[in-house]
Amino acid sequence: MNVKKFTAPTSREALRKVREALGPDAVILSNRPVDGVVEILALDNDDVASLSAPAPESEMAAPRPSLNVRADDFAAPAPAPRPFVQEPAARVPLNQLYGIDDDIPAPTPAPAPAPAPQTYANRRAPQAEAPAFDMNAMTAMMSAAIAQARESAASAAAAEMNGMMNELRAMRGMMETQLAELSWGNTQQREPQKAAVLRELLAAGFSASLSRYLIDKLPAGKDAAESMRWVKTVLARNLTTIADEDAILDRGGVFALVGPTGVGKTTTTAKLAARCVMRHGPEKLALITTDAYRIGGHEQLRIYGKILGVMVHSVKDEADLRIALKELRNKHTVLIDTIGMSQRDQMVTEQVAMLTNSGAHVQRLLCMNATATNETLNEVVRSYQGSGLAGCIMTKLDEAASIGGVLDVMIRQKLNLYYVSNGQRVPEDLHMADRAMLVDRAFRNKRDAAAQIQDSDLPLMMSGLGNLNNDRSLREVYVG
């Protein structure tokens, strides 16, 4: 064995000397500082190989058997359990008990079998091997934990951001309300005629948003009477009506009357049918009913058709409607009486789709109840509008206390008003729409209702409207 010593001021220089002298495979035996220098004892790799491999003729090179013996195999064997041996019972003289002369000793139990000798095989059972470490499973678990932590953090951040945005919106709404209230209070003091006109509009049933929009556009320098005339003129100008009956009676086509339950679709259909028969005759008209839901729902229209001498066809679905319209394509006018349903019913969408996909150009006329509220009528229009309405018919005019709500919806939704129905008589109670008459009727006999609205209530009513510029229905209202 040839051990060499190398010294240098630093370990780096000492290792460089070892590498130069013995090569990169040298074996480092020791490394220590001595007297301010670093001393390294190293050995050549060939010398280490000669030490690890014994000579072939030596005893160390001879093969040795593998015993595979454990230390506890040489421990003293555990003592065998002592077998249970029952002591022999005492001899009992049977002649004393049963009057028998012979004595029978108590039976002695057989000795317990000796335990099997312990051997190396059954002396100690091998221990179960430890399960192997699965790096892929550990990586998957760590990835899942990291993803779950990220998801939890993102959810918490989103919830916190949502709460913050809600608080900001609430603060913005409060500020807009207070500023609008202050602004309207100042306007009311400077221009009292606007407060009088606003009370008239609200008492007539017009919405607060449309009323405030008209008040904001009201020209300055007008008194209450002049301002009221200006408002009526603007409302009549924005109310769209047909000029004459030629749009329906002379031009003809396929018309479907739609609307909620009880709005008067069947009666209005009979009134239109009577007008068509009086102008073109019964052979130019056809009636179709889709009301197969109510018991006897189509019988009312059949009675009207029998009186007018017009055949009434009943259809159930889109296929029947397509066939019926194809057979009646030579008719001048076809009127369809549809089933009434709530504007919140999902079947409204199916009904609109059935009329749209019937294979003919079906013009839908929405029957609007004049007694309904502004919010209800807005829902009805949104539900039955679909791809577009050809127009509307105002019904139950004779039952309405105020018609400002229905006029408000027609103006904001840009609906074309065809007829006005004010009774049950067929066909007398169906009239052409007169814009000036309808607007004047909306404000008629509303002085008492307007007087009930206090000046102190107006700022609060106007402050909750927010920014009117965001209301798209008011953008097309012409006030010029």
* Stronger pLDDT, 369 or 88, i.e. the higher one: 369
Which range among 157-166, 315-324, 329-338, 441-450 shows the weakest confidence by mean pLDDT? 441-450
pLDDT, tens digit, 9 for 90 and up, residues 144-178: 888 888 888 888 888 888 888 888 888 876 776 66
Q: How far apart are CA 426 and CA 271, in angstroms?
A: 5
pLDDT at 123 over 60: no
Q: Which value, to the nearest 10 degrees, does the dihedral of the CA atoms of residues 277, 283, 284, 286 take?
A: 90
Strand pairing category for 37-43 and 27-34: antiparallel
pLDDT confidence bin for 104, thresholds 50/70/90: very low
Count CB atoms within 10 A of the CB of residue 376: 16
Report the amino acid identity of residue 257: L
Longest dimension (CA), the chain: 151
Confidence (pLDDT) at 67: 43
Confidence (pLDDT) at 366: 92
pLDDT confidence bin for 51, thresholds 50/70/90: low
Domain positions in the chain are 3-54, 170-240+435-472, 243-432
pLDDT at 11 over 80: yes
What percentage of the chain exceeds 90 in pLDDT? 10
Alpha helix segments (H runs only) across 425-469: 435-443, 447-451, 457-463
275 near 245, Cβ under 8 Å? yes
Specify which of 131-140, 396-405, 455-464 reaches the highest per-range mean pLDDT: 396-405
pLDDT, tens digit, 9 for 90 and up, residues 194-229: 878 888 888 888 888 888 888 888 887 778 788 889
Distances 231 to 70, 161, 265, 402 between C-alpha atoms, Å: 111, 45, 32, 17
Indicate the average pLDDT of the chain: 77
Confidence (pLDDT) at 392: 92
Confidence (pLDDT) at 467: 54
* Stronger pLDDT, 46 or 215, i.e. the higher one: 215
pLDDT confidence bin for 30, thresholds 50/70/90: confident
Which range among 24-38, 186-200, 387-401, 454-468 shows the weakest confidence by mean pLDDT? 454-468
pLDDT confidence bin for 82, thresholds 50/70/90: low
Q: List phi, psi (to 5°) of 5.
A: -115, 140
Strand pairing category for 27-34 and 333-337: unpaired
Find, among 352, 337, 405, the residue nearest to 382 by Cα: 352
Q: What is the DSSP string of 127-180?
A: PPPPPPP-HHHHHHHHHHHHHHHHHHHHHHHHHHHHHHHHHHHHHHHHHHHHHH
Name the 3-class secondary structure at 4.
strand
pLDDT confidence bin for 27, thresholds 50/70/90: confident
Confidence (pLDDT) at 74: 39
Q: List phi, psi (to 5°) of 241.
A: -135, 165
pLDDT confidence bin for 106, thresholds 50/70/90: very low
Confidence (pLDDT) at 72: 45
* Stronger pLDDT, 78 or 445, i.e. the higher one: 445
Q: Count of H helices and E strands in the chain?
A: 17, 12
pLDDT at 343 over 80: yes
Partnered with residue 27 across adjacent β-strands are: 43
Which range among 188-197, 337-346, 424-433 shows the weakest confidence by mean pLDDT? 188-197
Which range among 126-140, 147-161, 245-259, 297-311 shows the weakest confidence by mean pLDDT? 126-140
Q: How far apart are CA 438 and CA 445, in angstroms?
A: 13
pLDDT, tens digit, 9 for 90 and up, residues 351-399: 888 888 888 888 999 999 999 988 899 999 988 887 788 889 999 998 8
Q: How far apart are CA 257 and CA 112, in angstroms?
A: 106
What percentage of the chain exceeds 70 in pLDDT? 70
Count CB atoms within 10 A of the CB of residue 148: 10
205 near 441, Cβ under 8 Å? no
Confidence (pLDDT) at 452: 59
Q: How far apart are CA 142 and CA 126, in angstroms?
A: 34
Domain 243-432, CATH number (from 3.40.1260.10, 3.40.50.300, 3.30.56.10, 3.40.50.720): 3.40.50.300
Q: What is the 8-class DSSP label of residue 235?
A: H
Distances 245 to 252, 272, 304, 405, 430 between C-alpha atoms, Å: 10, 10, 21, 25, 12
Please give the average per-residue pLDDT across 91-117, as a whole number. 47
Q: What is the DSSP string of 347-416?
A: HHHHHHHHHHTSSS-EEEEEEEETTS-HHHHHHHHHHHHTT--SEEEEE-GGG-S--HHHHHHHHHHT-E
pLDDT at 76 over 50: no
Q: How far apart are CA 358 and CA 189, in angstroms?
A: 59
